[in-house]
Copies of this chain bind each other. A is one copy, B any other.
């Protein structure tokens, strides 16, 4: 459904209406649009336009004799055609930079910080998701026995990231077996993406002379080693921001939403599925088909960490200041990419 056929006036009215609604959360009447936005038209004229927009399904009336509010379609048209991206404020960009600089430099801390700063400066919910290891190519694999029958497996991918998994063994393993296994794994799997490895692990490790017990650990379909299921690293910060939003005045709705956030998994998959292409992706309410976020929007983006990519974004009521948020998310993603693929030369350049 395309809306290129909107007249100039209709566009302007829709734009003003949404801008006003975003600020006030109250249905917007014809008078406000006519007067406050100096359109040089009388309220009566605006009313006609509003009727047209309503017929097109871009706005609706909560009840007779209330003003209009945008529908999800309306927001869609707004962000697609009418949105002027607002430049990032000095203050915000400063904060984002500071966030990256301060604090520890490990992935978790940085992502935690990122979600926090996103939540803070947008007054929405800030989200950050760890890079998808699946995409990474295996650089090397190390195995370290720790304690009784426990094995720490370290998976390093080419971009320099690594994850470690503590495995339980049924019985103690000979050091020699371990060394051999490690050698075989490194030899056969290095350079392959973890996703690929997971799919083809069985064939690739066939006819090796390794200890079968040990082998089994790495082939098991549900092993954590190749999948990242368990490591569902998603950071969500700023719940307190949306609690006061009128959109969540209904307690049970709020409760459902918070529950949804706590599950993490659904949100993680949603954000990852949306932020695929380059640049910012905006997802509005009904476009996601998840009940719990029917009146919410997402502003998401990818970032890169070496060869891997992760996602960040914000979520909040559809009535959100898109024009600001886009710049913020964009800049944060950019900063994150820089921070996570930083080389020594980069550091020298900075004052």
Contacts and interface: CB of A to CB of B under 8 A. Distances in A.
Interface of A: 104-109, 139-140, 142, 144, 146-150, 152, 154, 156-162, 164-166, 168, 170-171, 224, 230, 237-240, 243-244, 251-252, 254-256, 258-259, 262, 343-344
Given A166-B162, A244-B255, A147 B156 contact: yes
A230 B161 contact: no
A142 B142 CA distance: 11
Contacts of A154: 144, 146, 152, 154, 164
A164 to B, nearest CB: 4
A237 B264 CA distance: 11
A84 B7 CA distance: 74
A83 to B, nearest CB: 29
B164 A106 contact: no
Work out how many copies of this chain go into the complex: 2
Given A154-B144, A154-B146, A240 B256 contact: yes
Contacts of A164: 152, 154, 164
Contact of A147 (B161, B168, B224, B240): B161
A162 B156 contact: no
Contact of A142 (B107, B144, B168): B144
Contact of A255 (B162, B165, B170, B243): B243
Contacts of A255: 240, 243-244
B224 A106 contact: yes
Contacts of A240: 255-256, 258-259, 262
B144 A144 contact: yes
Contact of A106 (B107, B147, B159, B230): B230
A251 B243 contact: yes
B152 A160 contact: no
A239 B262 contact: yes
A147 B139 contact: yes
B244 A251 contact: yes
Contacts of A252: 244
Given A224-B104, A251-B244, A255-B240, A230 B147 contact: no
A108 B230 contact: yes
Contacts of A158: 147
12 contacts: A104-B230, A105-B168, A106-B166, A148-B160, A148-B343, A149-B344, A162-B166, A170-B344, A171-B344, A239-B259, A240-B258, A240-B259
Contact of A139 (B107, B146, B165, B170): B146
Contacts of A106: 165-166, 224, 230
A202 to B, nearest CB: 21
